[in-house]
Structure 1
Amino acid sequence: MVIPLEAFAPVAALVGLATVGGWIYTTRLRITNGYPLENSWGKSVYPQRNEETVERVKLLSSENAQLRAELSAIKDRLATVERIVTDGSYRLDREIDALRDAPLN
């Protein structure tokens, strides 16, 4: 039993359309979300090197440095709080306060 080649034409057309549609969809997603467009070799099609882009990178870099410094300070403060909470005398004070607040029978 030989299947004629014309039977595969609709399947091939659907596969081709799905491939092109997927490429169009992913390109649209890249454009709307700000990703650079790339050619088949992975290079940017339209690399943006204007003053606005350079200034934006500088601002984001300085904001990133500030946020890292703030995060470091918060980590130090958290370590101090953890040390206080796990301290034995603090635990003893909590137990005494719990006994004071407990109703007498």
Structure 2
Amino acid sequence: MNWGGPGFVLAIIAIVMVAGIVKTAIRARHGYPLDDEDCKGRGKRQRRHDQIDAIRQAQLMAQQNEQLQGKVLRLEERIAVLERIATDPATRTAREIDALR
């Protein structure tokens, strides 16, 4: 067997190229950076900055979640009132409206 021939070298090159293509496809499918340059040279300061940004984003999302929960509760109350108005007899609703005047 001739391991040093040009066919062997070409086979190694082809294997490396196919591995690179597969690696890039997997990274793209899962949302990772497509090249390693994005990950190199990032110091502690940049990672700390990213952590602070993540914490701020989580806090903003928590505040927004609270606001949305409040809106949902108010809407549920309004829907309950509308359901009561729609299902109650008209005379009872008219009496309640007159009582409020």
More helix by share: 2
Give the TM-score of the pair, scaled to structure 2. Answer: 0.48
